[in-house]
Structure 1
């Protein structure tokens, strides 16, 4: 009868394998992966902290602009330099005459329901500046209204029948003839536009041609359309206040590259039937950067903690194996 092997001798290879643990290559790969993800998550968290500080500064600057005393709207020479960082939501004062017949209706949804923004060009000394006169609810048949006319770039002499010789007489240092101002009482003509006949746009040409003053918020164009809704200039369907295409469609390519949101009480309806509601500017900046930063830093902490637990388990296993073999 053969002697039985010593207790534990049969399991010596398994114990040795357990004691060896993961291979050197596996340990290096695990450490490299942990270091990579830890650094990546910390970097993303730090980036979100920077974004948080930038957003807080932006909110503070916009809040200061909104509540500051109004300043004159940028002059034509300044239009190319108008930018979001320096002008968005700036409280400005602007004076001119509304060209109601060129009003563009932009579909929108507000707290008051579904309807339109009334984007009306204002004829100022600097040229055309579009003003958002406010929101009007959508009524039956609104989508079937004929589009506003396209402005003609005819000069005053052509509109009033003045000859080029008469127009040149008595020109002032600014390059404009006195005949232009004397004979062009229409605000459209003062802006170099031919005023269309009211029959072309029923109900849109009855506004009183008098100067008004607006103290509102300067806004930049909205070039992107809503989901599945892109502006369709050919069919006069507008879903964003993208001033460039709107001005082009109205024959006003030299309009200001911004518009002004009129406040409540300065909507200046063209007649008693029109009741726009101004002052609906929504100033809201999503500011979730702190949550994102905590998320990334939390993931980094999880990676570090997980790697620590793996090392701790590996060391404990090695110690237990050494005790068994000892």
Structure 2
């Protein structure tokens, strides 16, 4: 088979291949990340809760304690709350954050007590009736990426926040003092308002399909290029 070199077609095809292969490779990395996340969550969420010192030790050792169940004795430092916008089961509302002081420490641990629909939002909520706080370790958001770029600005005066970044949330409770911990807890206590136990632990994984789509488009583009570059006989 003879081919005719077409500079414009070749340049456009190379550019298209670079974009499509890059998107496919990015989805390969996302696939590995999602599979690791699902495996981590499945392995951890049903474990017995551990003391607060264990996730702190894991961080000190360079390990990620996210979704590790924790039980900690102590009490809330104020009845004031920070409401972080979000959804649960398709309903718009707020996640209720409050500062918690573990017994025998000067540390401040933010606790996401759970979800309230927008129409049920209140300035304060009844403290949970439990001997200890139990929850899943969660990382704060970084404040980078598309979600952070399009999020509305926080409204500290109204106690309304639109991301789970550490600095603004801890600043909301700056008066309580203490050493800020590098993670927060999603409460697993069975409370009603706010509704506890609302951590998302089931994740869809469609990245393999995206990988095949982008790489398939790259293969199709290459086939079209080869067909269009065939030189006529004669």
**Length-normalised TM-score, structure 2:** 0.73
Aligned to 2:233: 318
Corresponding residue of 1:299: 217
- Counterparts of 1:45 and 1:141, CA distance in 2: 43
The structural deviation recorded for 1:217 is 0.6
In structure 2, the partner of 1:58 is 37
| From 215, 218, 231, the counterpart of 2:137 | 218
Report if aligned partners of 2:96, 2:113 keep a CA contact under 8 Å in 1: yes
The 3-state SS of whatever aligns with 2:109 is: strand
Question: Are residues 1:110 and 2:25 paired?
Answer: no
More helix by share: 1
Q: Give 2:113's aligned residue.
A: 133
Q: Render the CA deviation track for 1:109-132: whole Å, top value 9, x for unaligned.
A: 323844432222222133221222
Tell me, yes or no, if the aligned pair for 2:82 and 2:160 is still in contact at 8 Å: no
Segment drifting more, 226-235 vs 289-298: 226-235
The corresponding residue for 1:258 is: 183
Indicate if the aligned counterparts of 1:131 and 1:260 stay in contact, CA closer than 8 A.
Answer: yes
Classify the secondary structure of the residue corresponding to 2:168: helix
Alpha-carbon displacement from aligned partner over 1:76-124 (angstroms, at most 9, x marks no partner): 97597498x7122121121112234243333443238444322222221
Q: CA-to-partner distance for each residue in 1:229-270, whole Å, 9 max, x for gaps?
A: 2212244333334343222232236222221111142x4xxx
1:101 corresponds to: 79
Deviation at 1:218, TM superposition (A): 0.8
Which residues of structure 2 form unaligned runs of 5+?
none
How far apart in 2 are the matches of 1:106 and 1:43? 35
Distance 1:114 1:297, change over 3 A: closer
Within a 5 Å distance, the mapping from 1:6-45 to structure 2 comes to: 26-27=5-6, 30=9, 34=13, 37-38=16-17, 41-42=20-21, 44-45=23-24
Distance (whole Å) between structure 1 residues aligned to residue 68 and residue 184 of structure 2: 11
Residues 42/110 of structure 1: CA separation in 2 closer, same or farther (3 Å cut): closer
* Displacement of 1:74: 3.6
What runs of 5+ residues in structure 1 fail to find an aligned partner? 1-20, 146-202, 268-273, 320-326
- In the superposition, the TM-score normalised over structure 1's length comes to 0.55
Equivalent of residue 233 in structure 1, options 156, 162, 174: 156
Cα 1:303–1:133 change in 2 (3 A) is closer
Shift of 1:28: 5.8
Equivalent residues of 1:244, 1:257 under 8 A apart: no
